[in-house]
Amino acid sequence: MSAAPVIDVVTAGLGVRHGFVGRRGGVSDGIFASLNVGLGSSDDPALVRENRRRAVEAVAPGATLVTVHQVHSTIVVPVTGAVADADRAHADAMVTATPGLALGILTADCAPILLADPQAGVIGAAHSGWKGALGDIAGATVAAMEALGARREHIRAAIGPCIARASYEVDAGYRDRFLADAASHDGFFVPGRGDRFQFDLEGFVAMRLANAGVRQVVALGIDTYPDAERWFSYRRTTHKAEPDYGRQISVISL
């Protein structure tokens, strides 16, 4: 009898079933090895579906996975039932008060955010790249949870594996976009090589959550870029001139 696949799941004490799932324990190979869950990748769709099934079973056995077609927006959608993959909303966050649904966010350097108000029975999941962070997808998700009965002061949030400041080099134009929003954002940038800067995406998202009234925020501090064994990374793939990249999934369920 073969052993069960070893799947990495990092949790953060949110009070409901949840996990940030790594890249090990799947059925894909090559540059997608092994738990690639990206429907938008050029990986074999049958393998991707099996990987998605395994990821959900590792976090919330029996739950029905719901994902969105992520577009780097600040759009949040409420979810009340199963959604076919072909009918996924173009959005970057979901909220629900329906037990048995597993909200899934795909990332490969962007910040996955999982949120829960266990007392109200409301959860949320958000994808925050730099555009979502600047536009405040975190705050929009908190507001959408509140509309379902959550209380901001009871929400717990966790920021999963994402590219860390040491690995996230940006140019001055990138920094200027953030300073145009608020001069105080300068604190999330430190000087890098030459005229470049290093940006703290995780810290910025944590700030957005705190400003939205979330009192319990866990930032895991896991950098996706340097650890190719555990995490997919879009930037690492780009630097290696690979033709495509895998995605990992973060899951939360009541």
Structure tokens at 24: 């090990």
Where are the domains positioned within the chain? 16-164+200-252
Query: What confidence tens digit (pLDDT) does each residue in 16-35 have?
Result: 999 999 999 999 999 999 99
Per-residue pLDDT at 1 exceeds 50: no
Which residues, 6+ apart, have CB-to-CB distance to 131 below 8 Å? 72, 73
Query: What confidence tens digit (pLDDT) does each residue in 53-108 have?
Result: 999 999 999 999 999 999 999 999 999 999 999 999 999 999 999 999 999 999 99
* pTM > 0.75: yes
Q: Among 3.40.50.10540, 3.30.565.10, 3.40.720.10, 3.60.140.10, what is the CATH number of 16-164+200-252?
A: 3.60.140.10
Helices (H), 23-96: 45-59
Give the mean model confidence (pLDDT) for residues 218-234: 98
| CA 208 to each of CA 133, 136, 192: distance values in angstroms, whole numbers, following the listed order | 8, 7, 24
CA distance 238 to 236: 5
